[in-house]
Amino acid sequence: MKVLISGAGIGGLSAALCLLHHGCEVAICERAEKLDDIGAGIQLPPNAMRVFAALGLDGALTARAFKPTALEARMGRSGRQLFTIPLEDAAAQPRWGAPYLHIHRADYIAVLEAALRARAPDALHLGAEVSGYSQTEESVRAHLADDRTLSGDALIAADGIHSRIQGQILGPQQPRFTGSMAWRATVPMPLLEQKSAADKPRPTACVWMGPGRHCVTYQLRGGALANFVGVVECDETLDGTYEAAESWAARGTPAQAIADFKDWHPTLTGLLTEATELYRWALFDRKPLPKWVDGRVALLGDAAHPMLPFMAQGAAMAVEDAWAVARALTNSLTGKNGAPQNIEPALTAYQHQRHARTARVQAGSRANAKTFHRRSRVSQIGTYAPMWLVDKLAPALIYQSQDWLYGYDVTYDDAYDKIEAGS
């Protein structure tokens, strides 16, 4: 089976690798002339690492990543800890089956690109923008902006939040601007070394919560870089102070970011003071899409289920999708002489398998914005005091609450074994 893929982000590259692993041929079209080296840190949770372990890439990713000691939540101003989930605890890795990592997006892409080039040297087409598709009973064609076409048995659209193929399947969508902006920065750790031990970014994934805003801090590249993400409810975007762009490349100034986190904990203001490059991403919300599939074409990753970044799961969901769609298409190889059959039912089964889980993560991410940004004293006590109490009295409950997310193993989900392709 030959599968075409539009987009070589984390979702498209993972899909290519999973399809190769399952014995398919792939051609992946990326509109950029070279793969992105922009962006900052990404959390790489155990549910995504399971897929990379199955692909034999866990070692390469771990070598370029940072292993946090814990996930924790703190109050943004005082730094008071609300709860912690130790990851070094002998229980954490066996419980979720793989490590929790932080990685620079450029390093993540580099590992996936190198693996793809090693396994299928001619599969990646750079400078190849997919403008649309057409299909017959027998095949699907990807039409490129420069008038070339590629033909295959199926087409996977991993072309991100502004997916052209999603537009062709569903028509224009109207994302809702949330009124929030995400600041992103990385700072070399040696610049922060002179700070007091209490003020240095910790070797954890830490969410700092406060009225109308929150931050996430963690380390990258073996602890050489500190990563900062700060989300602010900011009406300025609406009155034109900022351009409301969903972009890894849109910039802001350190002074703007420092003003947004004035009076917050010295770990955060210290990080922002040392940051020379600050990127900002306007956060838009989208409802789960009703339809991911049109005949031989299916959406994957942000093209299928764009989500707010408040569970740090967008890329991880794309990686899970990648395994699921490869498995579904492989199961469709039931025709005479192993010829591809029943592509549409296989892709529909993929959507059925993935839709509820990704919609749950989309909803959870939306809800986290409210949890992290409680404004009144009463709502803060009502939300954060129970977290603190559970952490002190029944910490096992905090692990349990994350099992559905981090403990899920798409590589062992046998849903497809129970679905006969075509039924």
Part of the chain binding ligand FAD (CB under 6 A), chosen from 31-39, 79-87, 112-120, 233-241? 31-39
Part of the chain binding ligand FAD (CB under 6 A), chosen from 57-65, 261-269, 298-306, 366-374? 298-306
With CB under 6 A as the contact rule, the residue among 4, 51, 155, 229 that binds ligand FAD is: 229
With CB under 6 A as the contact rule, the residue among 68, 152, 160, 345 that binds ligand FAD is: 160
Residue 107 binds ligand FAD (CB under 6 A): no
Nearer to ligand FAD, 73 or 421 (CB): 73
Distance of CA 124 to the CA centre of its chain: 21
210, 233 contact by CB (below 8 A): no
DSSP 242: S
With CB under 6 A as the contact rule, the residue among 3, 4, 5, 11 that binds ligand FAD is: 11
With CB under 6 A as the contact rule, the residue among 316, 322, 328, 333 that binds ligand FAD is: 316
Angle at 333 between CA 328 and CA 335, to 5 degrees: 140
Nearer to ligand FAD, 34 or 336 (CB): 34
| b (16+ CB within 10 A) / e for 205-233 | bbbbbbeebbbbbbbbbeeebbbbbbbbb
313, 45 contact by CB (below 8 A): yes
203, 192 contact by CB (below 8 A): no
- x/- letters, 250..289, toward ligand FAD (CB under 6 A): -------------------------------x--------
With CB under 6 A as the contact rule, the residue among 1, 5, 6, 206 that binds ligand FAD is: 6
Residue 210 binds ligand FAD (CB under 6 A): no
* Closest separation in Å from C-beta 7 to ligand FAD: 3
* Closest separation in Å from C-beta 89 to ligand FAD: 22
Alpha helices in 185-263 (DSSP H): 254-260
Helix (H) / strand (E) containing 216: strand 213-220
* Closest separation in Å from C-beta 217 to ligand FAD: 12
Q: How far apart are CA 110 and CA 291, in angstroms?
A: 32
Q: How far apart are CA 219 and CA 101, in angstroms?
A: 10
112, 108, 106: which is closest to 16 by C-alpha? Answer: 112
What is the binding site for ligand FAD (CB under 6 A)? Answer: 6-12, 29-32, 36, 42-43, 129-130, 158-160, 164, 182, 184, 229, 281, 301-303, 309, 312-316, 318
